[in-house]
């Protein structure tokens, strides 16, 4: 295991990026707070989670991405509240509404206007803040017209409870419908070297309308960090087995990519994860990428993807392998 981080680093202001058409500025790497909620990650504890949050801020990561549904009872929000005490001005808090957990442990999607407002108000209390900087629709609720959900976000914006609005896991058509009712500053889709579908439609749409793309899964659940190599034995309950990229020919193609990325990382003196994240934050239309972590050294590593850029020769080498 790597040594705990010891660096005291901040992201230069010139490296911060504008969020949509707002005046909010964010670092190109954000901390995804799902792992610290402890819902699906093993060996999670409050002490390490607080250390991870504080390390992220110390390393120049100023966006903390949480959600009402990150934890059965707001565990992620409570940890963020503790971590940002006395330094609220240093962070951009992104949260989401529209997904919660039932008492029986099942996930429930509810993006009705009343539920969106309720989750926002509860999140404000959990976080101990007066406003949420970026508030997303977590996912489209098939039972609720997306325009109705958008109306609730527009009202929260007008009331000053949130500073900007985002939508997560949407199609271009859904994003367009939402935007007809409420201005959108950011969209949050999955995106990485192995999943590039958004480049065809969503990214061009967002570039044209000055909507930030803040993606998740840049390391594809550890695969692109080099944690899962040929011959890896998955536990039967490992949910990664349900993704095609971890199966058959697609898994072997990913391994061939990792072989190449190992060489790139060696050439530029960075870790494989840093190379992958750096490639991601320099793709057209990508404003920031969210990296999950449950230990300080993990987020310190991915924070090291900021402040530099892969040489053109290495970018071209990667693109040729990806077959863009």
Of 276, 169, 261, 260, nearest to 221 by C-alpha is 276
Task: Please report whether residue 237 resides in a domain.
Answer: no
Q: What is the pLDDT along the chain (324 residues), one digit of tens a residue?
A: 444 555 455 566 558 999 999 999 999 999 999 999 987 777 899 999 999 999 999 999 999 999 999 999 999 999 999 999 999 999 999 999 999 999 998 999 999 999 999 999 999 999 999 999 999 999 999 999 999 999 999 999 999 999 999 999 999 999 999 999 999 999 999 999 999 999 999 999 999 999 999 999 999 999 999 989 999 988 888 888 889 999 999 999 999 999 999 999 999 999 999 999 999 999 999 999 999 999 999 999 999 999 999 999 999 999 998 985
Q: What is the pTM of this model?
A: 0.94
Q: Label residue 5 exposed, middle or buried (CB < 10 Å: 0-12, 13-18, 19+).
A: buried
Q: Which domain holds residue 197?
A: 13-225+271-309
Task: Please report whether residue 261 resides in a domain.
Answer: no
Catalytic (active site) residue 136 = no
Q: Cα-Cα-Cα-Cα dihedral of 89, 92, 97, 101, to 10°? A: -90
pLDDT in tens, 75-114: 999 999 999 999 999 999 999 999 999 999 899 999 999 9
Number of domains in the chain: 1
Q: What is the CATH number of the domain that holds 122?
A: 3.20.20.100
Active-site residue, selected from the candidate residues 70, 136, 191, 216: 70
Q: What pLDDT does residue 13 have?
A: 58
Task: Please report whether residue 83 resides in a domain.
Answer: yes
Task: Please report whether residue 245 resides in a domain.
Answer: no
């Amino acid at each position: 295991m790597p040594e705990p981080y010891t660096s005291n680093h901040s992201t230069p202001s010139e490296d911060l990026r504008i969020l949509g058409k707002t005046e909010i500025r964010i670092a190109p790497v954000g901390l995804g707070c799902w792992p610290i909620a402890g819902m699906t990650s093993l060996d999670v504890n409050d002490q390490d989670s607080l250390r991870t949050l504080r390390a992220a801020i110390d390393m120049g990561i100023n966006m903390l991405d949480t959600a009402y549904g990150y934890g059965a009872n707001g565990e992620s929000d409570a940890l963020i509240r503790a971590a940002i005490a006395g330094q609220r001005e240093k962070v951009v808090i992104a949260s989401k509404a529209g997904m919660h957990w039932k008492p029986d442990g099942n996930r429930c999607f509810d993006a009705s206007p009343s539920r969106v407002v309720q989750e926002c108000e509860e999140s404000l209390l959990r976080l101990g803040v007066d406003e949420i900087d970026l508030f997303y629709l977590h996912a489209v609720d098939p039972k609720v017209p997306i325009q109705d959900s958008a109306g609730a976000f527009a009202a929260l914006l007008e009331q000053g409870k949130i500073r900007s609005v985002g939508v997560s896991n949407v199609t271009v058509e859904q994003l367009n419908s939402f935007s007809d009712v409420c201005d959108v500053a950011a969209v949050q889709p999955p995106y990485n070297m192995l999943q590039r579908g958004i480049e065809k439609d969503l990214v061009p749409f967002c570039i044209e309308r000055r909507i930030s793309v803040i993606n998740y899964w840049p390391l594809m659940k550890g695969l692109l960090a080099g944690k899962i190599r040929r011959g890896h034995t998955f536990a039967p309950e490992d949910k990664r087995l349900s993704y095609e990229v971890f199966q058959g020919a697609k898994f072997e193609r990913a391994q061939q990519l990792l072989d190449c990325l190992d060489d790139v990382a060696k050439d530029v003196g960075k870790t494989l994860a840093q190379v992958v994240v750096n490639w991601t934050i320099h793709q057209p239309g990508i404003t920031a990428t969210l990296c999950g972590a449950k230990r300080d050294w993990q987020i310190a590593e991915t924070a090291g993807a900021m402040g530099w850029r892969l040489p053109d020769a290495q970018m071209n080498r990667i693109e040729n392998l990806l077959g863009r």
